[in-house]
Amino acid sequence: MTPAVEFRGVSVHFGRTRALDSLDLSVARGETLALLGPSGSGKSTALKALAGFVRPDAGRVFLDGEDVTDLPPHRRGLGVVVQSYALFPHMRVDANVAFGLKARRVPRAEVAARVAEVLDLVGMGAYARRFPRELSGGQQQRVALARALAIRPGVLLLDEPLSALDAALREDMIAELLRLRAELPDTTLVYVTHDQGEALALADRIAVMRDARLVEAGSCEQLYRRPATEFTASFLGAANLIPVDLVSHGTPATVRLGERVLTAEPTGALGPGPVALGVRPHRVGVGAPGADTLPALVRAVRWRGTGYRLDLELAGGATIRAEVSETFAVGAAVGVSIPDGCPLVEVGT
Ligand code: ADP
């Protein structure tokens, strides 16, 4: 099936800065794709190239199989929501939402009906006559969403839409976006975020970006459980990356960590370079020292509401993080156990 969105070798430079390097990526109709990466990795630039706000210096952008690289933004039929709401302050909510429809010369009666429809869709039906300054941040962002949806876009672009909201509101908005997605199953969403939690909560698939490049793309589960690169393992899961010696190749492979020999699952091709085990903090076992455990010292303890976070120093000097339900004294000698079957990645990927 023709993808709803396709980047083919798209590169963007700003002066001498390479903001996007030969991006190849497609998004299926109805799919929610998160572009995830640290600040400056090229996520917004990819979105802008898709929206038509920046012109690629190489490559092409397709919407529904049509090459739109040379089309101006308003001819691409996309909905766009950005971090800062960007509502017109002197216009009431209904006029803000109607703006794109009027620009498209939609008949007046239909404008009114569509404005009411999308305001209801985002739960803002009662606020049509307010000015943006009379709304909370979360409400303004809902209006911005309604405005983007009013033109019934096939593809909705969201650039860090929740980052101006506080944590509690963000949770509400994630729930709201999930509900919206269920109500608009044919709408394709491309969602830019630096927040792994948001990406995992909302996306069907995640494209991980770093230094203007796509690192890897895959389903949330795939990237979370079987990251192919060290970067994804650390960025997406806040996983410990524990250097280990490769004893034997294979699936599973065998690795050595101190005196312990473990099995591990290589998630990509392993080169000759050093390898590391990706171990999530909640999978690290901590108890009394014993024959089957790795000796470690507790370096720091923090209470996290649901349990304790420990910083542990392994005998070889590596520091790892564990999340456990009972606490330990700082300085205590403990025994650490790492489960078999953790993902194994090449260091430096
Ligand atoms: P992200 O969205 O992942 O934070 P961006 O796509 O905004 O990253 O930026 C990628 C790179 O391009 C960064 O180095 C950024 O400083 C640079 N950049 C982005 N927009 C511009 C611009 N208008 N002019 C110059 N450099 C830019």
Same domain, 245 and 199: no
Mean pLDDT for the chain overall? 91
> What does the pLDDT look like over 306-346, one tens digit per residue?
899 999 999 878 899 999 999 999 999 999 999 999 989 88
Instruction: Judge whether 20 and 42 are in contact, CB under 8 Å.
Output: yes
The two tokens of residue 100 are 């794109």
Cβ neighbours for 298, distance < 8 A, ≥ 6 positions apart: 310, 311, 312, 328, 329, 330, 331, 332, 334
Residues 253, 246 contacting (CB under 8 angstroms): yes
Last residue of a domain, one of 192, 225, 258: 225
- CATH code of the domain containing 293: 2.40.50.140
Least-confidence region, from 111-120, 156-165, 264-273: 264-273
**Residue 303 Cα, ligand 1 centroid: separation in angstroms?**
37
| CATH code for the domain of 32 | 3.40.50.300
Based on the structure, what is the number of domains in the chain?
2
Tokens of 195: 């927040």
100 forms beta bridges with: none
Q: What is the mean pLDDT of the segment spanning 129-158?
A: 92
Probe target for ligand 1 pocket from 45, 82, 159, with the most ligand atoms within 8 Å of CB: 45
**Which residues form the domain of 182?**
5-225
Q: What is the pLDDT of residues 288-302, one digit of tens each?
A: 998 889 999 999 999
Provide mean pLDDT across the span 31-57.
95
57 and 147 both lie in a single domain = yes
Task: Report how far ligand 1's centroid is from the alpha carbon of 45 (Å).
Answer: 6
Q: Where are the beta strands (DSSP E) in the chain?
A: 5-14, 17-27, 32-36, 58-63, 66-67, 79-82, 155-159, 188-193, 205-210, 213-219, 240-248, 253-257, 260-266, 275-279, 285-287, 294-303, 308-314, 319-324, 333-337, 342-346
* pLDDT in the model for residue 84: 73
Q: Is the dihedral of CA 112, 116, 117, 119 positive or negative?
A: positive
179 and 250 share one domain: no
Q: Are residues 211 and 126 in the same domain?
A: yes
pLDDT of residue 194: 92
pTM strictly above 0.85: no
Sorted by sequence, the CB contacts under 8 Å of residue 68 that are 6+ apart come out as: 52, 61, 62, 75, 76
**Of 203, 225, 247, which one is at a domain's C-terminal end?**
225
Query: What local confidence, expressed as pLDDT, does residue 85 receive?
Result: 66
Q: Does 257 share its domain with 142?
A: no
Q: With a 6 A CB cut-off, is 14 part of the ligand 1 pocket? A: yes
- Shared domain for 109 and 243, answered yes or no, is no
- Looking at the fold, whether 217 and 290 belong to one and the same domain comes out as no
For residue 27, the model assigns a pLDDT of 98
Chain centroid to Cα 203, Å, comes to: 7
Buried b or exposed e, range 14-30, using 16+ CB within 10 angstroms:
eeeebbbbbbebebebe
Same domain, 206 and 335: no
| Gap from CA of 4 to ligand 1 centroid (Å) | 25
pLDDT at 29 over 90: yes
Provide the pLDDT for residue 314. 92
Is 39's C-beta closer than 6 angstroms to any atom of ligand 1? yes
Q: Which pLDDT does position 100 carry in this prediction?
A: 86
Point out the domain boundary residue: 225, 260, 293.
225
Please determine, for residue 52, whether its predicted confidence score (pLDDT) is greater than 90.
yes
d(CA 7, CA 63): 9
Q: How far is the C-alpha of 150 from the C-alpha of 172, rounded, in Å?
A: 22
Distance, CA of 293 to CA of 312 (rounded, Å) = 13
Atom 21, ligand 1: residue with shortest CA distance:
14
Per-residue pLDDT tens over the stretch 183-232: 899 999 999 999 988 999 999 999 999 999 999 999 998 888 888 888 99
Angle formed at CA 97 by CA 92 and CA 98, multiple of 5 degrees: 95
Q: Looking at the structure, do residues 133 and 266 belong to the same domain, yes or no? A: no
Say if residue 44 is in the same domain as residue 138.
Answer: yes
How far lies 263's CA from each of 23, 28, 101, 250, 346, in Å?
35, 36, 59, 10, 15
User: Taking Cα atoms as reference points, which of 185, 25, 11 lies closest to residue 36?
Assistant: 25
Instruction: Say if CB 314 and CB 244 are below 8 A apart.
Output: no
Q: Are residues 241 and 148 part of one domain?
A: no
**Given this model, what pLDDT does residue 138 score?**
86
- Choosing from 13, 14, 41 the residue with most ligand 1 atoms within 8 A of its CB, the one to mutate for a pocket test is 14
41 and 189 share a domain? yes
pLDDT of residue 234: 83
> 207 or 235, which is more confident?
207
Q: What is the DSSP letter of 206?
A: E
The pLDDT value recorded for residue 203 is 95
Residue 115 has pLDDT above 90, yes or no: yes
